[in-house]
Amino acid sequence: MKKILTIALCFAMVLTLTLVYGDETAYSAAGSGDLTDGTYSVSAAGYSWMGMIYADVTIKDNALADFVVTEEHESYTGEVAQPAFDLMPERIIENQSLDTDAISGATVTSMAIKSCFAQAIEAAGGDASEWYTEIEKKTDTVTLDGYDVIVVGMGGSGIMSYCAAADHGATVFGIETCAKLGGQSATTTGPMILGSKAEAFKDAQFPDMDEVYSTWIDYVGSEEKADIIYECVYNNGEYIDYFIDNFGFKFAGLIGSFEIAEWKELWTRYNSETRNVLGPNKTFQFDNAVAIAKAMNEKNDYMLELTADELIMDESGDVIGVHAVYYDGTEYEIYGDSVILATGGYIGNHEMVKTYLEGPTQTVAFTVSDGTGINMGISAGGATYMLAIDPMIHILQVPNMIRNDDLTPDQKAVLSAFALVADEKKIDINGKDLDPAITHYSDIPGYHYYVVYTQEQMDAYKAEGLTENFAGAMSFFLGQGGTIETGAPLEDLDAILEVGMKYNNIFKADSIAELAAIIGCDEAALSETLGGTETTYYAADCMSYAYATVGGLDVDVNMNVLREDGTPIENLYGVGQDSQGVCNVEGKPYTPWGGQAQAWTFVSGYLAGTSAAASFAD
């Protein structure tokens, strides 16, 4: 069947385009300037650190007519980029404008697709800067009301809340900014699991729960949130089994703890026939669970590409709903009895990161998690708990991975190795030797350090090759496919360093004073660390990559957001990374057992969903 769209375009003049999607796509349109018809092969760096997006863009009758991906590496990191491939080309073609908004949650891939169209316009003899026709946004407001529970953020914890609330009789509406369900939870390996009775774990040797509980309480050094930690340990299995039994979640295999060697079977993986570098593909599990929950009541619904921005409150300050904006500009006022905040923390909010953390980190996480849920909670009078806990960090790499072809994969591996190598001179942001006692990356001052080399060392690497200690200098899953050869002359070292400097991964200084200025540290301290030797230095920046922030709203054991005076805001809940501070403590890394953040999505989601449903039933 053919779909006919008539779109009013306003470039320099108003034009009419008729697009026919079907076997023989036909266009009757004129774009800005005279473009030469043709199919243009273009490429752009996307999100994946393994390679670029290559595409054929067709231009016909002065209009953008078709976009075909010929090679891409975005699927290396899983399902995150797929909505951009599904929606972005179609929308750019429909709008005939590069002003088309990026797809939320897949911004980098969207921008690469946009760049491909821009390059094709230029190759066809046009001027891409003239193709930014403003896209008119809608201005109407839609009101939805009568919901028992509104869930803000349909990632892991939001979906568990949605399912539990629906199953306990509530009518539920879910708000999700991305064009897909699952959030960051769809990129994880899996949750910590204790005492599950599910078939998949029938032979499991789970750690002793009393031991896990007391280890946890000792770690946070307080019993203030003991009731919540109790739920995380003693009821973890029961709650995860609930989602396995009622919403079709599947897991397979057990993994040992990061930190505690005796806990050999502590966390598990989502079960999937396919996987990507970030873990098993699992969006289908979240889609399936939401479909089951949605079908429980005909009023239940959710919307993608709908971004919540504030709570709606009545005159007395009580929460009565959520305001949100759809990607096309339509405003939504959604009214309900309870609101569950599940937006995944604040790693995407530069201001909050600057205020609460020791410095910015790089991140492999969704930057759509920009603190909206936490700030909504605060706006309703909610308090925060341990907001300044260091973020979850398990990976190091150069800060600006080169995603284009400026270097070959092997050259990228050498560049990264200069930052990741173990036994070279590591200097912290204060110009001192990096404390060798640091075992958690989140304890590194400012979350990054420099590995410093002299010109003499670089000359030796060029003539004789890298030494043996570079052999294992690879990043945990952020490697870029290349390999490092030791002991072979590095004839292309100058080119590697040049590119490294262009992308601010390597800094060159002709004196200690210059290096101190680059690092931003005290010159005398740095001079002492470097033994006062004046020479040319190269500093490779080694940066932490965070998974998510940890601190969030203060909540009680029902996941009700608490005010400063400790009283609950009866109809407001915080789950997932929006409240994970209650399981942790400032000054120590995120509970390092393994899989605890993902387990918290199940535990907090179960508790919030059931509490919210029970409160409306009273």
Ligand X SMILES: Cc1cc2nc3c(=O)[nH]c(=O)nc-3n(C[C@H](O)[C@H](O)[C@H](O)COP(=O)(O)OP(=O)(O)OC[C@H]3O[C@@H](n4cnc5c(N)ncnc54)[C@H](O)[C@@H]3O)c2cc1C
Question: Which residues of the chain form contacts with ligand X (CB under 6 A)?
Answer: 105, 152-158, 175-178, 183-185, 187-191, 278, 307-308, 342-344, 364-366, 368-369, 372, 392, 547-548, 576-577, 595-598, 601
Contact (Cβ atoms closer than 8 angstroms) between residue 611 and residue 151: no
Query: How far apart (Å, rounded) are the C-alpha atoms in residues 457 and 454?
Result: 5
Query: How far apart (Å, rounded) are the C-alpha atoms in residues 281 and 271?
Result: 8
Q: How far is the CB of 442 from ligand X (least distance, A)?
A: 13
Measured torsion, CA atoms of residues 6, 11, 14, 15, in degrees rounded to the nearest 10: -40
Q: How far is the CB of 175 from ligand X (least distance, A)?
A: 5
Q: Determine the Cα angle at 474 with ends 78 and 429, to 5°.
A: 105
Q: How far is the CB of 229 from ligand X (least distance, A)?
A: 16
Nearer to ligand X, 402 or 478 (CB): 478
Q: Hey, which residues does 59 pair with through a beta bridge?
A: 38, 64
Nearer to ligand X, 121 or 374 (CB): 374
Tell me which residue of 341, 281, 338 sits closest to 552, measured CA to CA: 341
Residue nearest to ligand X (CB): 155
Query: How far apart (Å, rounded) are the C-alpha atoms in residues 612 and 174?
Result: 14
Contact (Cβ atoms closer than 8 angstroms) between residue 352 and residue 344: no
Q: How far is the CB of 165 from ligand X (least distance, A)?
A: 15
Nearer to ligand X, 35 or 599 (CB): 599
Query: How far apart (Å, rounded) are the C-alpha atoms in residues 222 and 200?
Result: 34
Q: How far is the CB of 241 from ligand X (least distance, A)?
A: 18
Query: How far apart (Å, rounded) are the C-alpha atoms in residues 478 and 55?
Result: 25
| HEC letters along 561-604 | EEECCCCEEEEEEECHHHCHHHHCCCCCCCCCCCCHHHHHHHHH
Q: How far is the CB of 371 from ligand X (least distance, A)?
A: 9
Nearer to ligand X, 193 or 519 (CB): 193
Nearer to ligand X, 40 or 162 (CB): 162
DSSP characters over 195-235:
S--SGGGTT--PPPHHHHHHHHHHHHT-STTHHHHHHHHHS
Q: How far is the CB of 515 from ligand X (least distance, A)?
A: 33
Nearer to ligand X, 17 or 160 (CB): 160
Nearer to ligand X, 361 or 369 (CB): 369
Nearer to ligand X, 65 or 103 (CB): 103
Q: How far is the CB of 583 from ligand X (least distance, A)?
A: 11
Tell me which residue of 437, 450, 346, 451 sits closest to 392, measured CA to CA: 346
Nearer to ligand X, 416 or 549 (CB): 549
Nearer to ligand X, 307 or 610 (CB): 307
Contact (Cβ atoms closer than 8 angstroms) between residue 266 and residue 253: no
Q: How far is the CB of 563 from ligand X (least distance, A)?
A: 22
Contact (Cβ atoms closer than 8 angstroms) between residue 544 and residue 566: no
With residue 614 as reference, give the H or E element that holds it: helix 596-617
Nearer to ligand X, 293 or 597 (CB): 597
DSSP characters over 241-264:
HHHHHHH---EEEEE--SS-TT--
Query: How far apart (Å, rounded) are the C-alpha atoms in residues 346 and 442?
Result: 16
Q: How far is the CB of 155 from ligand X (least distance, A)?
A: 2
Which token pair is 393? 């960090």
Q: Determine the Cα angle at 212 with ends 208 and 216, to 5°.
A: 170
Nearer to ligand X, 357 or 496 (CB): 357
Q: How far is the CB of 232 from ligand X (least distance, A)?
A: 12
Burial track 96-123 (b if 16+ CB lie within 10 A, e otherwise): bbbebbbbbbbbbbbbbbbbbbbbbbbb
Among left, alpha and beta (phi > 0; psi -120 to 50; other), residue 427 is beta
Q: How far is the CB of 319 from ligand X (least distance, A)?
A: 16
Nearer to ligand X, 58 or 349 (CB): 349
Sheet holding 38-44, edge to edge: 38-44, 53-60, 63-71
Q: How far is the CB of 266 from ligand X (least distance, A)?
A: 11
Nearer to ligand X, 148 or 305 (CB): 305
Which token pair is 592? 């390092």
Nearer to ligand X, 119 or 375 (CB): 375
Length of the chain in terms of residues written? 618
Q: How far is the CB of 118 from ligand X (least distance, A)?
A: 27
Which token pair is 286? 């979240």
Tell me which residue of 81, 97, 180 sits closest to 134, measured CA to CA: 97
Nearer to ligand X, 332 or 450 (CB): 332
Tell me which residue of 341, 361, 345, 288 sits closest to 571, measured CA to CA: 341
Q: How far is the CB of 105 from ligand X (least distance, A)?
A: 5
Q: How far is the CB of 475 from ligand X (least distance, A)?
A: 13
With residue 192 as reference, give the H or E element that holds it: none
In the chain, the amino acid numbered 530 is L
